Structure 1
Amino acid sequence: MTRAPNEDAIWVALVDDYDVVVKGVATMLDPYRDRVLVAELDTDRPVKDDVDIALYDSFAQPESDQEQIKVLLANPRARKVVVYTWNFHPELVEAARALGTHGYLSKALPARDLVAALEAVHAGEIVFSDPPSRMRTPTSQDWPGRQEGLTDREAEILALITQGKNNADICEVTYLAPNTVKSYVRNLYRKIEVDSRTQAVVWGVRHGFLPDHHRIDHWRGGP
């Protein structure tokens, strides 16, 4: 991919192990392509283009965030690295800050505010969103299971279940309380019409809830 004629626009690479999530964010940003140009990474090709910002979406992989962020920060192809997440637990926020990320942005931000935040990062600011009082993902985004009625948080819980996590594991990596996790699990079981964890895993595998870890590999090893 070559630089577009609009040299004033910010080039943003969307980094996530789930293609549907990447496409959802790209769709949300598309009306602002005069200000932000999305470079979707092809997992079959190496990274060849410099980008202004690598926007790391932490969908269903909070336990690996720090490693993945380090990979992005170490690659000179990405001038800035921003985390895009629903999880504002203080330990995660401070860890991202300590690693040297240039932003920690909430998925509750409307598209116009997300674009403005990316522009501020590009201009040299360090932008950390305030923890939202109530998480609400912009409706133009997408995630696995959305068509089946799963909320974005329920989808992330199901993705962790599909990866073999038990409730205690999910509590540890998401910083959610045990009763909160149980509530999410009950709700998503009802929506996908399963009665057991084994059935949920089978459903998840069949419906795209296994991550493609090749995406982050494109950022390993420098240019």
Structure 2
Amino acid sequence: MTTLTRPLLVTLVDDYDVVLTGLAHMFDDYRDRILVSEIDANAVLHDAIDIVLYDSFAQPESDHEEIAELVANPQARHVVVYTWNFQPELVQAALDEGVHGYLSKTLPAKELVEALEAVAAGEVVVIEPKRRAASAAGLDWPGRREGITDRESEILALITQGKSNAEVATLTYLSPNTVKSYIRSVYRKIGAESRTQAVLWGVGHGFTPDHHRIDHWLGGP
């Protein structure tokens, strides 16, 4: 087991800037233990990173190409998946690909930091939610200020990307009826009466991926 005497350098990976910003701010009170940078999942790592934290928001979780690329990168010492989706097959597939952690978005900042430190010390850490709880305080996602929940936001993001209800159900491991229920709820909150209106609203409110990344941010080297 390795014990570091310096803060961990943690890189955040997600295609949505608002998601990255919210996640980064969770570490604001722990800058003596965590230094944050961020990259595009397809970018080249120029520094040795202690942990790459892969946020799965609106990502096709059945397609693990990005995770596999991160695990294969010799400059990423450890890769951790950060998600609320804990279907056993997803967890096992990620572990089989070589990830070093699979962590729930319900973890408070203190417990998230402790889990990342355990990963950096050489442990494989899997922490799933005890129940379907709210996301950890401090996280952000598109539409939150309009009253859209984290799960509704993910579904609207997938719809904005052109996914059908059946594809959304497959990617989120939800039943078709549950997906329809979420969509109806989103429509009410944004005042949409059709899928086209919902997509247009999504495009105008941050629900399309942004691949632009700032390599070093919030105190990272």
**TM (normalized to structure 1)?**
0.89
1:58 and 1:26 mapped to 2: Cα distance?
A: 15
Q: Deviations over 1:126-151 (max 9, x none)?
A: 00113431231112111111111111
| Structure 2 alignment gaps of length 5 or more | 214-221
Instruction: Work out whether residues 14 and 55 of structure 2, in 8 Å CA contact, stay in contact via their aligned partners in 1.
Output: yes
What SS class does the counterpart of residue 35 from structure 2 fall into?
strand
2:201 and 2:141 mapped to 1: Cα distance?
A: 15
Cα distance, 1:30 vs structure 2: 1.3
Instruction: Work out whether residues 13 and 40 of structure 2, in 8 Å CA contact, stay in contact via their aligned partners in 1.
Output: no
* Cα distance change on mapping 1:105 and 1:171 into 2, 3 Å: same
2:40 and 2:168 mapped to 1: Cα distance?
A: 30
Instruction: Work out whether residues 106 and 132 of structure 1, in 8 Å CA contact, stay in contact via their aligned partners in 2.
Output: no
**TM (normalized to structure 2)?**
0.89
- Which residue, out of 146, 166, 177, partners 1:179? 177
1:167 and 1:175 mapped to 2: Cα distance?
A: 12
- 1:147 equivalent to 2:145? Answer yes
**1:183-198 map, 5 Å:** 183-198=181-196
What SS class does the counterpart of residue 118 from structure 2 fall into?
helix
Q: Kindly provide the amino acid, as one letter, of the partner of residue 190 in structure 1.
A: R
- Which residue, out of 83, 106, 110, partners 2:108? 110
**1:32-43 map, 5 Å:** 32-41=30-39
2:45 and 2:5 mapped to 1: Cα distance?
A: 20
Aligned residue number for residue 6 of structure 2: 8
1:63 and 1:74 mapped to 2: Cα distance?
A: 18
Aligned length: 209
What SS class does the counterpart of residue 181 from structure 1 fall into?
helix
| Structure 1 alignment gaps of length 5 or more | 1-5, 216-223
- Larger helix proportion, structure 1 or 2? 1
Instruction: Work out whether residues 108 and 138 of structure 1, in 8 Å CA contact, stay in contact via their aligned partners in 2.
Output: yes
Cα distance, 1:65 vs structure 2: 4.5
What SS class does the counterpart of residue 50 from structure 2 fall into?
strand
